[in-house]
Amino acid sequence: MGIIIKNGTIVTAKDIYKGDIRIDGETITAIGESLPAEPEDQTIDAQGKYVFPGGIDVHTHFELPFMGTVSADSFETGSRAAIAGGTTTFVDFVIPEKGKPLGTALDAWRKKADGHAVADYGFHMAITEYTDSVAAEIPTIIKEGITSFKCFLAYKGLFQVDDGQLIAVLENAGKHGGMVSIHAENGDIISTLTQRYQAEGKLTPEYHWRAHPAIAEAEAVERGLTLARFADQPLYIVHLSSADGLERIKQAVARGDKVLAETCPQYLLLSSDLYCLPDFEGAKWVMSPPLRPADHLEKMWEGIAKGYIQTVATDHCPFNFRGQKEMGRDDFTKIPNGIASAGDRFNLLYTYGVGEGRISINRFVDVVATAPAKIFGMYPQKGSIVVGGDADLVIFDPEATGEISVKTQQHNVDYSAYEGFKLKGLPQTVLLRGRFAVRDGVYVGEQGHGRFIARSASGVSA
């Protein structure tokens, strides 16, 4: 009693060809021309459709306690939005409390996710202080399948680590098979500007943006890469947002550094003009790093097309405009940072990337699924369409059209950062390990079907 997807155009990060896919249980068991169906098999007609591997979003913050509130999507609602939008696996960030074991935080995050998530999931571990006990715990955490760590060069006085700590994490994690990522903004620059604007009474959302200039990203990218080279470790830059930061990455690649970079749809499609909307409207897009001026966008797309940027994730971290974003109505520093896009990423990338000719359809699959899987140790179980791999599949109708709106979104938040964005091409059916999560456009997923993925070491040496 299997499933046969008939006559689809199968697309991987390198290949594109017509064929049938057979699923037995949770995995793909055959790909072929005219695969024979047995009586009890279900058959899905994918003629005229693409069959993509399920998307992987390696940057989410569900139910994150942050800035005096909690991000609006739970693991259930957030993962439902994700899978409805073609993303079958996500990796969320565990943020431990200072002075407490990493394991305690991991337990808390597991508890939020286990039995709730409707997509598969893993975790990164944030390191916001580097004490002897943290150092000692890192190998254990890696053994539990949390093989990636994140340090912040921003959030001075809160999460920010100094250069010595970053080096120590790079070396410790690297030695035990873990990889380090950084939030690459110079927290001292941000802090200097923030205090200045506060002192000057410049408190509107526009000044959140002005307090996070692109030079702060460029500096942190450069420094992070230099310290990683010193430590002889790869480095993964999360949510790269600016052409300035990208330029540093290009130089690093040219000199042979092991650098991996992630960007997000907001840095490809939205620009900083939004911060200047009247009536506190700009607060909707307050996030760190912030949106950049419009001339950055095509450069970021080119960064993807040319291979300088390997992955597109979301940094999904939504807050309601009413009641949450409004906390900072009189002071931008109190606006909780983040937007929702876990459900939009896959489709925005397809429409505005493939559809508008900025990236090839193979590159789309790579950045949205394959590279995340390889970089974060989930391949070949996840991230491609291969015999033996999990049957996480998106049957995608390139002719379907839609429009992003708060009215129709699955995200649990009261506005959409992409309100009114047209989509051409939509998931018709989504399978997670052989089970339907979306069928003919209707969400049919099931709470708790998502499973924790204990990840291996990075499969890409950069």
List of residues contacting a copy of itself (CB under 8 A): 10, 12-19, 22, 29-33, 35, 156, 162-164, 167-168, 186, 188-189, 191-192, 213, 215-216, 218-219, 222-223, 226-227, 229-230, 250-251, 253-254, 256, 302, 306-307, 360, 366, 370, 380, 384, 386-389, 461
Q: What pairs with residue 183 in β-bridges?
A: 152
Residue 163, Cβ neighbours under 10 Å: how many? 13
Q: How far is CA 118 from the centre of its chain?
A: 17
Cα(342)–Cα(356) distance, rounded to whole angstroms? 21
Using DSSP, state whether 214 is helix, strand or coil. Answer: helix
Shortest approach of a copy of itself to residue 428 CB, angstroms? 22
**Residue 89 or residue 370: which is nearer to a copy of itself going by CB?**
370
**Residue 388 or residue 420: which is nearer to a copy of itself going by CB?**
388
Shortest approach of a copy of itself to residue 198 CB, angstroms? 15
Shortest approach of a copy of itself to residue 250 CB, angstroms? 5
Shortest approach of a copy of itself to residue 188 CB, angstroms? 4
Cα(77)–Cα(141) distance, rounded to whole angstroms? 27
**Residue 336 or residue 389: which is nearer to a copy of itself going by CB?**
389
For the CA atoms of 137, 139, 145, 146, the dihedral, rounded to the nearest 10 degrees, stands at 60
Shortest approach of a copy of itself to residue 278 CB, angstroms? 29
Q: Single out the residue of 276, 322, 301 nearest to residue 415, CA to CA.
A: 322
Using DSSP, state whether 54 is helix, strand or coil. Answer: coil
**Residue 2 or residue 85: which is nearer to a copy of itself going by CB?**
2
**Residue 386 or residue 454: which is nearer to a copy of itself going by CB?**
386
**Residue 166 or residue 313: which is nearer to a copy of itself going by CB?**
166
Q: Tell me, what DSSP letter sits at residue 434?
A: T
Contacts of 61 (CB under 8 A, 6+ apart): 71, 92, 93, 315, 316, 317, 338
Shortest approach of a copy of itself to residue 2 CB, angstroms? 11
131: left (phi over 0), alpha (psi -120 to 50) or beta: beta
Shortest approach of a copy of itself to residue 91 CB, angstroms? 20
Q: From residue 359, how far is each of 152, 157, 303, 307, 364 by CA, in Å?
A: 30, 40, 10, 10, 7
Residue 62 · residue 401 · CB < 8 Å: no
Q: Tell me, what DSSP letter sits at residue 67?
A: T
Shortest approach of a copy of itself to residue 241 CB, angstroms? 17
Shortest approach of a copy of itself to residue 211 CB, angstroms? 12
Alpha-helical runs (H) found in 241-391:
243-254, 266-269, 297-305, 345-348, 361-365, 371-375
Shortest approach of a copy of itself to residue 57 CB, angstroms? 20
The owner of tokens 């809160």 is 158
**Residue 344 or residue 392: which is nearer to a copy of itself going by CB?**
392
Shortest approach of a copy of itself to residue 56 CB, angstroms? 14
The owner of tokens 């359809």 is 361
Maximal CA-CA distance, the chain: 74
**Residue 167 or residue 368: which is nearer to a copy of itself going by CB?**
167
Shortest approach of a copy of itself to residue 256 CB, angstroms? 6
Contacts of 30 (CB under 8 A, 6+ apart): 20, 21, 22, 387
Q: From residue 187, how far is each of 64, 153, 272, 289, 296 by CA, in Å?
A: 21, 6, 20, 11, 22
**Residue 283 or residue 361: which is nearer to a copy of itself going by CB?**
361
**Residue 53 or residue 450: which is nearer to a copy of itself going by CB?**
53
**Residue 143 or residue 196: which is nearer to a copy of itself going by CB?**
196
- What would the two tokens of residue 308 be? 């300088």
- What would the two tokens of residue 95 be? 């943020």
Residue 408, Cβ neighbours under 10 Å: how many? 10
Cα(322)–Cα(333) distance, rounded to whole angstroms? 17
- What would the two tokens of residue 248 be? 């540093």
**Residue 312 or residue 317: which is nearer to a copy of itself going by CB?**
312
